[in-house]
């Protein structure tokens, strides 16, 4: 491990100092055994959550949700409706918290900002040529700056998978560091697009590169490719976060995204989080779900716990 | 009879630092026991019938998680054993050796299917009687037991293909003595190949865990197996000794401690009886510096804390390459804290109850010796239930080859951590034991796996995994871990005469 890393203990972390620490990232990117990682994730998915622990987990899951719409057909009207849902997911139950953030394309940010004013719900936006990332770095940087200026608190960037898969890790690293700088006060979530990285070794390597380059969060997927978040990929990324925390003292957040549509699956993710990183990470500052259809299923389960019966889907708003 | 399922609640562990404000308490998620019928008293299963023991004595079977009595088990004496052997002999001569092998297969398939049908009840009974977590009895013990019967049913009419160009005949009457760590599974390992090869059997389960063996007797009755083909005599050491020394038994198969195994071998010396032994172990689990560390840590945990460490092939000696000792030990300390120790019926329990008071005493004594010999102890700070037999997951660092905890089998949730510098040193230390049942290797380098596997003197070598079992794979030991193989095609050999 390089001098730079050793001299910066907990509390003194600064991404700028880590600009040239790609070597540290690669040093911590040891192999991952796929069979064993999948086995561990599957065994955690068998945890059986009942009663109070289930209700507690589901409410926490809502507060961790990045309620997302990322479509060409998004309009101010559509995102306005989503924002109302985000602030009060179930008006009949005051104990249900608001979601973590609304996640949209950059042009929708001003409308979201307006709609969410004073609610505590964050404004997240994708940037950097989402979802492919196949554009020029200057454009990515400008897009990031403009999006933050438009009112985004959180930027979800994609890594340059083309560069990553050709082994040009320095380019991936430098671009993340540059975007981090462009973010200013906004939090940076780095999307690895794990479905395009082929294996867990690569997932761990990309996680390390993103964290050493300055990511506040690492995120699995855009939701735009065939394979999105999975439990084992999330486990591998959480283990990378754990090792990074041990080495630097810095706590990085995690955001699985895409394909998490049921309350049961969301609870499994929380179990994997809890049993890998512990109670410290069990809050929206350090864990998010990127999801669109998950919220209604969670609300349905919560109402079932409250009333003892499943309600028809007609009782839950489609926004 | 009513079964206590609630175990007084206790504080759960928070894996994060003590300062954390959050604890996610998993509410108890208890497997229902309503559907399980455990008789208040079990008799012996001889000649296809349940019969009272000649001794007219029954002993209590205890639930080790609560110390409540679960049932009463018959104590078979020499006269009962003799009756069982005579029934087995009669069934062998009159029925089992004569029927078409494909007919034998049908009976074995039927037993396998009935085990699957009654899997939930068997899993709950196994957990109540032995203390193991329900997730293990549900996902491992019972499905594997059924799988063994299915697998060997397939061999019954294909024996000549298992031993090409040889004439294959059954042995006769097999006496089988099994341990308490995987009660039903060990019964399946023993019965299935013996039946497939055309032998009849007298089986003796361990005295602390006879309930599922007697439930299996009910299944065998329901499967309409000809009377006397399988007989089950319950009892302690004296019953086993009577079976081993019975003159009309052709073969003894024993799984258990090396001590008893040696006594059996002495007793059989000079007789014509055939013998297979599956005995103790002190398996090395070897982690190289290029290992996938997080998965290796899971493998170490699974290797030693699976079934409370009551596993003959448990990875009880961890060898870590010196360059990665720090992260491995740190991760082990963190991981051990997240193991959920408690009510075995709770679906979220990872580590259950120690099987018996005697075994708990043995574990305590060994752990004390480790402390006395100067090894550094680390124990999970989990709280343990007030009643029942419990031991917190434990490991020792700074252990030397000469320490008792590095030499003797503990058969509990206690790991000894040693270090090495080169592959040669790892092999030398790993083989430096009277045992040789199993070993584990953790490295990303394939060629190193092959080289190590060739040099490790162990019957089973796992690479980047641990404690994986399959009916198609032979299992058995080198040196004082025994001889003979169970499972796979090799598992048929001890039950046939080849000419």
CATH of the domain at A301: 3.20.20.70
Establish if A169 belongs to a structural domain.
yes
Q: Tell me the two tokens of residue B55.
A: 């001794």
Domain identity same for B56 and B156: yes
pLDDT tens digits along A79-110: 999 999 999 999 999 999 999 999 999 999 99
Who's near B488: CB < 8 A, 6+ residues apart? B471, B472, B473, B474
Q: How far is B333 from chain A (nearest CA, A)?
A: 13
Establish if A29 belongs to a structural domain.
yes
**In 10 A of CB B211, how many CB atoms?**
27
Establish if B19 belongs to a structural domain.
no
Establish if B8 belongs to a structural domain.
no
Contact B347 A48 (CB under 8 A): yes
Domain identity same for B415 and B488: no
CATH of the domain at B217: 3.40.605.10
Q: Tell me the two tokens of residue B28.
A: 């108890």
What pTM does this model have? 0.93
The single-letter DSSP state of residue B486 is B
Q: How far is A120 from chain B (nearest CA, A)?
A: 21
Q: In what order do the strands lie in the sheet with A154-158?
A: A253-255, A217-219, A187-191, A154-158, A122-126, A101-104, A65-68, A289-291
Nearest chain B residue to A235, by CA? B294
Q: Cα separation of B317 and A58, whole Å?
A: 41
Establish if B369 belongs to a structural domain.
yes
What is the arithmetic mean of pLDDT over A138-147? 98
Instruction: Name B60's bridge partners.
Output: B72
Contact B25 A32 (CB under 8 A): no
Who's near A39: CB < 8 A, 6+ residues apart? B298
Q: A203 to each of A88, B4, B402, how far by Cα in Å?
A: 36, 47, 43
Establish if B7 belongs to a structural domain.
no
Write down the pLDDT at residue B16: 34
Confidence of residue A54 (pLDDT cuts 50, 70, 90): very high
Domain identity same for B295 and B432: yes
Q: Tell how strand B394-397 and strand B376-379 pair up.
A: antiparallel
Q: Tell me the two tokens of residue B161.
A: 């293909």
Q: B347 to each of A301, B180, B344, how far by Cα in Å?
A: 21, 22, 8
Strand, coil or helix: A287 = strand
The total of structural domains in chain B comes to 2
Q: Cα separation of A239 and A33, whole Å?
A: 13
Domain identity same for B115 and B245: yes
Q: Cα separation of B289 and B434, whole Å?
A: 27
Domain identity same for B260 and B407: no
pLDDT tens digits along B22-65: 468 899 999 999 999 999 999 999 999 999 999 999 999 999 99
Q: How many CB pairs under 8 A join A and B?
A: 86
Establish if A158 belongs to a structural domain.
yes
Burial status of residue A74 (CB atoms within 10 A of its CB: 0-12, 13-18, 19 or more): middle
Contact A52 B25 (CB under 8 A): yes
Q: Tell how strand A253-255 and strand A154-158 pair up.
A: unpaired
Establish if B358 belongs to a structural domain.
yes
Domain identity same for B258 and B327: no
Find out whether B132 and B123 touch, Cβ atoms under 8 Å.
no
Q: Select the residue from A27, A31, A245 to test the B interface by mutation, using most B Cβ atoms within 10 A.
A: A31
DSSP state string for B392-458: --EEEES--TTSHHHHS---SSEEEEEEESSHHHHHHHHH-SS--SEEEEE-S-HHHHHHHHHH---
The single-letter DSSP state of residue A209 is H
pLDDT tens digits along A234-251: 999 999 999 999 999 999
Strand, coil or helix: B37 = coil
Q: Is the pLDDT of residue A6 over 70?
A: no
Q: Tell how strand A289-291 and strand B58-62 pair up.
A: unpaired
Establish if A232 belongs to a structural domain.
yes
Establish if A18 belongs to a structural domain.
no
pLDDT tens digits along B357-390: 999 999 999 999 999 999 999 999 999 999 999 9
Establish if A14 belongs to a structural domain.
no
Q: Tell me the two tokens of residue A135.
A: 């554009």
Q: Which residues of A are catalytic?
A: 156, 219, 255
Write down the pLDDT at residue B14: 33
Question: What is chain A's alpha carbon radius of gyration, rounded to the nearest angstrom?
Answer: 19
Contact A54 B348 (CB under 8 A): no
Find out whether A116 and A101 touch, Cβ atoms under 8 Å.
no
Find out whether A250 and A5 touch, Cβ atoms under 8 Å.
no
Write down the pLDDT at residue A14: 54
Query: Given B31, B136, B312, B409, which residue is catalytic?
Result: B312
Find out whether A290 and A103 touch, Cβ atoms under 8 Å.
yes
Q: Cα separation of B16 and A203, whole Å?
A: 25
Write down the pLDDT at residue A21: 86
Domain identity same for B290 and B428: yes
Confidence of residue A15 (pLDDT cuts 50, 70, 90): low
Q: What is the largest CA-CA distance in chain B?
A: 73
CB contacts of A281 in chain B (<8 Å) are 16
Q: In what order do the strands lie in the sheet with B44-46?
A: B49-51, B44-46, B230-232, B200-204, B173-177, B251-255, B274-278, B482-483
Q: Tell me the two tokens of residue B449.
A: 């796996």
CB contacts of A31 in chain B (<8 Å) are 290-292, 444
Q: How far is B16 from chain A (nearest CA, A)?
A: 4
Strand, coil or helix: A104 = strand
Write down the pLDDT at residue A20: 54
Establish if B21 belongs to a structural domain.
no
Taking the Cβ of residue B21 and every Cβ of chain A, the question of whether any pair is shorter than 8 Å is answered with: yes
Nearest chain A residue to B339, by CA? A275
Q: Tell me the two tokens of residue A234.
A: 């999330």
CB contacts of A32 in chain B (<8 Å) are 292, 294-295
Q: Select the residue from B294, B300, B337, B346 to test the A interface by mutation, using most A Cβ atoms within 10 A.
A: B294
Q: B336 to each of A1, B13, B329, B330, how far by Cα in Å?
A: 27, 11, 10, 10
Taking the Cβ of residue B326 and every Cβ of chain A, the question of whether any pair is shorter than 8 Å is answered with: no
Closest residue to B16, CB basis, from A47, A56, A279: A279
Domain identity same for B67 and B182: yes
The beta-strand segments (E) located in B250-339 are 251-255, 274-278, 284-287, 317-321
Domain identity same for B365 and B419: yes
Write down the pLDDT at residue A285: 97
Q: Cα separation of B51 and B34, whole Å?
A: 27
Which residue numbers in chain B have pLDDT < 70? 1-23
Closest residue to A279, CB basis, from B24, B26, B27: B24
Q: Select the residue from B292, B330, B448 to test the A interface by mutation, using most A Cβ atoms within 10 A.
A: B292
Closest residue to B17, CB basis, from A54, A280, A282: A280
Write down the pLDDT at residue B15: 34
Write down the pLDDT at residue B25: 87
Kindly report the three-state secondary structure assignment for every residue of B135-182: HHHHHHHHHHHHHHHHHHHHHCCCHHHHCCCCCEEECCEEEEECCCCC
Sign of CA dihedral B353, B355, B357, B362: negative
The single-letter DSSP state of residue B182 is S
Write down the pLDDT at residue A10: 42
Strand, coil or helix: A26 = helix
Q: Which helix (H) or strand (E) holds A66?
A: strand A65-68
ipTM of model over 0.95:
no
Peptide bond into A37 cis (omega under 30): no
Establish if A168 belongs to a structural domain.
yes
Contact A32 B26 (CB under 8 A): no
Domain identity same for B493 and B359: no
Domain identity same for B204 and B94: yes
Contact A280 B29 (CB under 8 A): no
Who's near A98: CB < 8 A, 6+ residues apart? A62, A63, A86, A87, A88, A89, A119, A120, A121
The total of structural domains in chain A comes to 1
Angle among Cα B45, B48, B51 to the nearest 5 degrees reads 40
Who's near A57: CB < 8 A, 6+ residues apart? A49, A266, A267, A270, B24
C-alpha closest to that of B475 among B139, B115, B144: B144
Q: Tell me the two tokens of residue B486.
A: 């169970």
Write down the pLDDT at residue B11: 40
Domain identity same for B396 and B456: yes
Domain assignment of residue A122, given as a range:
23-306
Establish if A253 belongs to a structural domain.
yes
Domain assignment of residue B395, given as a range:
284-463
Taking the Cβ of residue B446 and every Cβ of chain A, the question of whether any pair is shorter than 8 Å is answered with: no
Establish if B80 belongs to a structural domain.
yes
Write down the pLDDT at residue B8: 54
Sign of CA dihedral A121, A122, A127, A132: negative
Q: Is the pLDDT of residue A255 over 90?
A: yes
Q: Return the C-alpha torsion angle A284, A290, A296, A300, nearest 10.
A: -60
Find out whether A260 and A296 touch, Cβ atoms under 8 Å.
no
Establish if B341 belongs to a structural domain.
yes
Q: Tell me the two tokens of residue B159.
A: 């024996």
Taking the Cβ of residue B17 and every Cβ of chain A, the question of whether any pair is shorter than 8 Å is answered with: yes
Q: Is the pLDDT of residue A28 over 50?
A: yes
CB contacts of B299 in chain A (<8 Å) are 36
Percent of chain A whose pLDDT exceeds 70: 94
CATH of the domain at B448: 3.40.309.10
Closest residue to A275, CB basis, from B15, B330, B444: B15
């Amino acid at each position: 491990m390089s001098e730079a890393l050793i001299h910066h203990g907990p509390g003194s972390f600064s991404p700028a100092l880590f600009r040239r620490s790609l070597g540290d990232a690669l040093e911590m990117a040891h192999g991952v055994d796929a069979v064993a990682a999948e086995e561990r994730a599957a065994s955690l998915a068998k945890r059986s959550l009942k009663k109070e622990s289930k209700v507690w987990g589901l409410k926490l899951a809502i507060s961790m949700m990045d309620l997302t719409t990322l479509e060409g057909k998004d309009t101010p009207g559509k995102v306005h409706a989503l924002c109302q849902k985000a602030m009060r997911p179930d008006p009949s139950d005051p104990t249900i918290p608001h979601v973590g953030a609304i996640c949209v394309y950059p042009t929708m940010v001003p409308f979201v900002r307006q709609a969410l004013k004073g609610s505590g719900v964050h404004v997240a936006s994708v940037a950097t040529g989402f979802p492919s990332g196949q554009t020029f770095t200057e454009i990515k940087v400008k897009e990031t700056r403009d999006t933050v200026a438009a009112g985004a608190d959180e930027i979800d960037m994609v890594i340059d998978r083309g560069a990553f898969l050709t082994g040009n890790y320095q380019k991936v690293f430098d671009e993340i560091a540059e975007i981090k700088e462009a973010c200013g006060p906004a939090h940076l979530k780095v999307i690895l697009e794990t479905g395009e990285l082929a294996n867990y070794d690569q997932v761990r390597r990309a996680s390390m590169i993103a964290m050493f380059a300055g990511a506040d969060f690492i995120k699995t997927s855009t939701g735009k490719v065939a394979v999105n978040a999975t439990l084992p990929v999330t486990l591998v990324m959480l283990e990378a976060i754990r090792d990074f925390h041990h080495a630097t003292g810095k706590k990085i957040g995690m955001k699985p995204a895409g394909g998490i549509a049921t309350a049961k699956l969301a609870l499994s993710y929380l179990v994997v989080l809890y049993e890998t990183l512990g109670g410290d990470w069990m809050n929206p500052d350090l864990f998010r779900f990127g999801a669109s259809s998950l919220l209604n299923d969670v609300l349905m389960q919560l109402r079932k716990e409250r009333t003892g019966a499943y309600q028809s889907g007609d009782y839950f708003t489609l926004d | 009879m009513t079964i206590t399922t609630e175990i007084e609640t206790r504080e759960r562990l928070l894996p994060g630092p003590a300062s954390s404000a959050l604890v996610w308490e998993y509410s108890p998620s208890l497997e229902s026991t309503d559907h399980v019928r455990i008789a208040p008293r079990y008799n012996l299963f001889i000649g296809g019938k349940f019969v009272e023991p000649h001794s007219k004595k029954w002993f209590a079977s205890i639930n080790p998680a609560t110390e409540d009595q679960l049932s009463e088990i018959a104590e078979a004496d020499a006269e009962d054993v003799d009756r069982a052997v005579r029934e087995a002999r009669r069934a062998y001569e009159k029925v089992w050796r004569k029927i078409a092998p494909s007919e034998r297969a049908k009976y074995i398939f039927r037993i396998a299917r009935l085990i699957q049908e009654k899997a939930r009840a068997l899993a709950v009974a196994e957990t109540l009687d032995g203390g193991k977590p329900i997730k293990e009895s549900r996902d491992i013990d019972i499905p594997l037991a059924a799988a063994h019967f299915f697998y060997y049913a397939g061999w019954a009419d294909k024996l000549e293909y298992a031993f090409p160009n040889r004439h294959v005949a059954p042995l006769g009457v097999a006496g089988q003595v099994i341990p308490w760590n995987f009660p039903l599974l060990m019964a399946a390992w023993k019965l299935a190949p013996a039946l497939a090869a055309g032998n009849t059997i007298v089986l003796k389960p361990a005295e602390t865990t006879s309930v599922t063996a007697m439930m299996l007797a009910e299944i065998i009755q329901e499967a309409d197996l000809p009377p006397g083909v399988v007989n089950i005599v319950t009892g302690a050491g004296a019953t086993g000794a009577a079976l081993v020394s019975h003159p009309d038994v052709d073969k003894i198969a024993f799984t258990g401690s090396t001590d008893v195994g040696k006594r059996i071998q002495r007793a059989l010396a000079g007789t014509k009886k055939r013998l297979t032994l599956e005995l103790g172990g002190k398996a090395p689990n070897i982690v190289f510096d290029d290992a996938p560390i997080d998965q290796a840590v899971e493998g170490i945990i699974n290797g030693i804390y699976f079934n409370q460490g009551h596993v003959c092939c448990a990875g009880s000696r961890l060898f870590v390459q010196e360059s990665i000792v720090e992260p491995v030990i740190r991760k082990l300390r963190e991981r051990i804290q997240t193991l959920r120790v408690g009510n075995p019926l709770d679906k979220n329990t990872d580590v259950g109850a120690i099987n018996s008071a005697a075994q708990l005493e043995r574990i305590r004594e060994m752990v004390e010796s480790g402390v006395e010999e100067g090894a550094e102890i680390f124990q999970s700070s989990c709280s343990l239930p007030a009643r029942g037999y419990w031991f917190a997951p434990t490991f020792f660092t700074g252990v030397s080859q000469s320490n008792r905890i590095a030499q003797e089998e503990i058969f509990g949730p206690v790991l000894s951590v040693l270090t090495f510098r080169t592959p040669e040193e790892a092999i030398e230390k790993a083989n430096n034991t009277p045992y040789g049942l199993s070993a584990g290797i953790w490295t990303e380098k394939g060629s190193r796996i092959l080289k190590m596997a060739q040099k490790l003197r162990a019957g089973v070598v796992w690479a980047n995994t641990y404690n994986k079992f399959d009916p198609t794979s032979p299992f058995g030991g080198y040196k004082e871990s025994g001889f003979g193989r169970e499972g796979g095609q090799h598992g048929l050999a001890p039950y046939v005469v080849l000419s």
